Structure 1
Amino acid sequence: MEEEFEFDYNEDGQHSVERYEEMIRNQDQYFFDAQAFEYIIDNYIEKNDPVKALQVIDFALSQHPFAAVFLIKQAQLLLLTNQVERAFKALEKAEMLEPSEAEIYVLRGNIYHNQERYAEALENLEKALLFAETTDEILLQIAYVYQSMHDYEQAIVYIKRSLEQNMENKDGLYELAFCYDILDKQEESIQFYKEYIDNDPYSYAAWYNLANSYHKLELYEKAIDAYDYAILIKENFASAYFNKGNALVQLEKFEEAIDVYKQTFEYEPPNADTYCAIGECYEKLDRMDEARSYYKKSVKMDSKMADAWFGIGVTLNAEERYFESLHFYKKALDLDDENADFWFAIADAHYKLGQIEESIEAYYKVLEYNPVDVEAWLDFSTVLYEQGRLLEASETMAEAIKNNPDAAELYYRMVAYLFALGQTQEAMAYLETALVTDPEKHYILFEYLPQLQQNSAIIDVINRYIK
């Protein structure tokens, strides 16, 4: 027996949910109007119970077979539960009932997007634009499809159209920053954000993105000014404080950076990244105890914070506690085993502990992961040279030069090794190249082999280039 029940939306909506649950318990059939059904469905969606919500939709459709709204909700829930084909069918029925409902095409566009069927996704989203009252979100969806297609230029066009309609859309501003970043067009992004700020000077997101663009162009002073505006507008903007701290670090203003990093704690709980950044500042200020205490706070919050484990090692190394530092370098390496800086520190610690073979092995790793680290090549070859392995030292330099053809230091060092090997002609040829590359650095040669200052042939060649 079907009992009629008209739902008054002003009445407490919970009443209709209770009526519905009573109906299920009694295995009965009550009638609800469409609004009541919508309320009941939304209630289960909010409670994160898509299965019950779908059951309600079946009842709703049996009583209101021509209401497209239920088919659209059904499609949304079917997508949530990964029933893509059934979602498509629900949208087809909805389209037959109400072909001018934008949400149908938005949903279908999103399904196609997830399936990487980009042309069909765009076709549906463009259709949604024709029917929707507000289109800023749909324009953003289209931009996301273009991003997935790696067509960032076109994505920018749609994000800008979206922002023209809704200046408040923070997502749009951040996505735009992302696209400009990928295209490496910081100047264009600066131009855009400046114009945007002219129209909306109180947009903290625009100031923040402007600051990030300056930061990427290494215009740190300008970046800091823009971060300050963002913070002025939104006092609790923790990311702006953090990035401002990073910019101050680039300017080597470590004391100021520490203060700014600590300000983030007023607006969000401390996190491992910020503790680690503060640790690095103290390390740069040579305040190793404070640095270590912040690095320790960082790894306590996040044991996967490789840079902080490494930082602890660096502070111990500064105190000549090489054996202990090695333990922490290795913890960092466990988390990031292709990090050339970590390997370099390990190579150095082994060397200082007199563990030469381990040091040499570590140097091979440094140069495998970062063959353009001139300092590492020089240090590595020094270790070999000191062990009397002159030929290996000169072969290492040859490899270094191959990877860094513009580094004069390497040529001067090669000259020293070749002289030590008695290969005078080759040494003179390298000396010429070194002097062509950078005559000012010829002192490196004498630092390494002071006795060459007595060699008149070398002095003659050098004088030709520096006079």
Structure 2
Amino acid sequence: MALESNEKPNQPIDKFESMLKTDDVYFFDADDFEDIIHHYLNNGRIALAKKAIKIGLRQHPVSVELKLLEVEVLVFENQLDLAEHYLDALQVLDGNNEEIYIQRANIYSKKDNHEAAVALLQKALNLSENSFDIHSLLGMEYLFMDDFKLAKESFMYCVAFDQQDYSSLYNVIYCFELLEDYDGAIRYLNDYLNKNPYCEMAWHQLGKLYFAKAKYPEALTSFDFAIISDDTFIGAYFEKGKVLERMGKYNEAIENYEATIQMEDPTSHAYLRIGKCHEQLGNDELAKYHYYHTVHEDPMLDKGWLAFTDFYFRRKNYDKALSYINKALNIDGENPNYWNKCAQINEALGKFDYADFAYKQSVELGNYDLTTWLGWAHVAKCNHDLPGALHILAQGEEFYPESAEIKYKIAGFQLETNDLINARISLIDALHLSFGKLQLFYDEFPQYAEMAWVRNIVTEVERKL
């Protein structure tokens, strides 16, 4: 039997959940069902939302709003054809309902037809009195289309409508960054903060922008205001620590990193930064202590293992460095940075075969840095494989066709193989690319520095430059 609402809890959600635990059936207004369903959808409880939709439509079979919520769930579950079928029927009943166009736009968006989604959202915009949510959806569609200018304008509208819409505010700054208009982002945030001076998120974003532009005093001030606005804002303490670290104020940086650890469970990133600061201060034991905690907190954080490895590498303790990079490789053998560091360590140990293998692995996994090609070629030379070294440099040249470093090294190796014609061509090309880097050639191949043949080429090119 149906019970009156005053016989059970007054709150619709409590009342609904109470009903589910019994065999009783309670009656709800359609508006109550909408509130219940929205509550479950917002909290990701899809099964309960579907149950509420089913019972709601049983009690209110002609409710367009409940049927639209059913469509929303179908779209979420990718039952797009069925959702479109329901929308066709709803459009006959209520052709001017903007939510129908919004759900059709969601379907097109899921099908990667973002232009059609935008067109439908524009129609919804013409029908809607409250267009705030539609502008937010438009902004997302423009992002999918890489139209960052229109996306930015849509999200700006949302922020103008609701100053507390931090999600849209973040997206506005994101669009500025994608447009590489950092000064515009700074101006926008400063204008926003003139109206909302205690918005910690805006201060935080402003500080990050100043940091990116190397305006460290301004960044520091911004993070200080973020902390004043919310003294539990961990992200502001962490970013402030990064600024202080960049400014060489390592003890102050450590204080801010430690503040994040005291306020919340320690993070590997905080331990890592503290370790880096202690290393800069010459506190080797404290640096090692924090690097240990870095990898203990997150064994998958490559920067932690690399910090430990670099710590010993810089101190020429190559055996210890090798043991740590091998631990890293045991955890993640697909990390090109690990293999690159492994190659450098083996090279320093004179284990050129291992170094050659490690460089090869690093490149195959996607590390195409200039230093990688140069280092690998040097290892091949140490293995008495000059043809292999030249082949490696030829591959590197495909990625860095304007690299004087590669050209000078090619010229040197060609001289060592007595390929004078190609050596002359390579040396002339290198000199044209960067005459100022000639010393690199002399440093690596001093046996040719006083060679008349080389001197003549250098003089000839210098005269023409």
Shift of 1:454: 5.8
Structure 1: runs of 5+ lacking an equivalent: none
1:325 — aligned with what?
Answer: 321
Q: How many residues align?
A: 462
Identify the match of residue 234 of structure 2 among 230, 234, 238: 238
**Counterpart-to-counterpart distance in 1, 2:15 and 2:396:** 78
**Counterpart-to-counterpart distance in 1, 2:414 and 2:42:** 77
Conservation of the 8 A alpha-carbon contact between 1:106 and 1:124? yes
Shift of 1:286: 5.1
Query: Per-residue CA shift, 1:322-349, capped at 9, x if unaligned?
Result: 3342233234345665655433321222
Matches within 5 A, 1:47-86: 50-51=46-47, 54-79=50-75, 83-86=79-82
Please say if 1:5 is aligned against 2:4: yes
Conservation of the 8 A alpha-carbon contact between 1:173 and 1:209? no
- TM normalised by structure 1 equals 0.78
**Counterpart-to-counterpart distance in 1, 2:252 and 2:353:** 43
Mark the CA change 1:179 to 1:4 in structure 2 (over 3 Å): closer, same or farther.
Answer: same
1:180 — aligned with what?
Answer: 176
Identify the match of residue 360 of structure 1 among 356, 359, 370: 356
Please say if 1:25 is aligned against 2:26: no
Identify the match of residue 131 of structure 2 among 130, 135, 142: 135
**Counterpart-to-counterpart distance in 2, 1:397 and 1:282:** 39
Conservation of the 8 A alpha-carbon contact between 1:7 and 1:33? no
Matches within 5 A, 1:175-324: 175-251=171-247, 253-285=249-281, 287-324=283-320
Task: Read off the aligned partner of 2:63 and give its amino acid letter.
Answer: A
Shift of 1:143: 0.8
**Counterpart-to-counterpart distance in 1, 2:44 and 2:237:** 36
1:115 — aligned with what?
Answer: 111
Shift of 1:247: 4.2
Conservation of the 8 A alpha-carbon contact between 1:106 and 1:125? yes
Shift of 1:108: 4.1
Mark the CA change 1:372 to 1:353 in structure 2 (over 3 Å): closer, same or farther.
Answer: closer
**Counterpart-to-counterpart distance in 2, 1:457 and 1:38:** 87
Query: Per-residue CA shift, 1:419-461, capped at 9, x if unaligned?
Result: 5555667666666655555555555455445565665676677
Conservation of the 8 A alpha-carbon contact between 2:9 and 2:15? no
Mark the CA change 1:90 to 1:419 in structure 2 (over 3 Å): closer, same or farther.
Answer: closer
1:165 — aligned with what?
Answer: 161
Conservation of the 8 A alpha-carbon contact between 2:343 and 2:354? yes
Shift of 1:76: 3.9
Conservation of the 8 A alpha-carbon contact between 2:234 and 2:263? yes
**Counterpart-to-counterpart distance in 1, 2:37 and 2:346:** 66
Q: Which has the larger radius of gyration?
A: 1
RMSD over equivalenced CA pairs, Å = 4.3
Conservation of the 8 A alpha-carbon contact between 2:309 and 2:325? yes
Identity of aligned residues (%): 25
Task: Read off the aligned partner of 2:322 and give its amino acid letter.
Answer: L
1:373 — aligned with what?
Answer: 370
Task: Read off the aligned partner of 2:200 and give its amino acid letter.
Answer: Y
Mark the CA change 1:252 to 1:434 in structure 2 (over 3 Å): closer, same or farther.
Answer: farther
3-state DSSP of counterpart to 2:338: helix
Mark the CA change 1:269 to 1:137 in structure 2 (over 3 Å): closer, same or farther.
Answer: farther
Mark the CA change 1:20 to 1:334 in structure 2 (over 3 Å): closer, same or farther.
Answer: same
Conservation of the 8 A alpha-carbon contact between 2:408 and 2:430? yes
Conservation of the 8 A alpha-carbon contact between 2:261 and 2:270? no
Task: Read off the aligned partner of 2:23 and give its amino acid letter.
Answer: R
Query: Per-residue CA shift, 1:369-421, capped at 9, x if unaligned?
Result: 444424x4554444444555556556656666665455555555556555555
Query: Per-residue CA shift, 1:93-149, capped at 9, x if unaligned?
Result: 655665555544444433432233434433443344345454323211111112222
**Counterpart-to-counterpart distance in 2, 1:462 and 1:451:** 15
**Counterpart-to-counterpart distance in 2, 1:386 and 1:59:** 77
Mark the CA change 1:449 to 1:84 in structure 2 (over 3 Å): closer, same or farther.
Answer: closer
Task: Read off the aligned partner of 1:167 and give its amino acid letter.
Answer: Q
Shift of 1:175: 1.3
**Counterpart-to-counterpart distance in 2, 1:315 and 1:360:** 23
Structure 2: runs of 5+ lacking an equivalent: none
3-state DSSP of counterpart to 2:146: coil
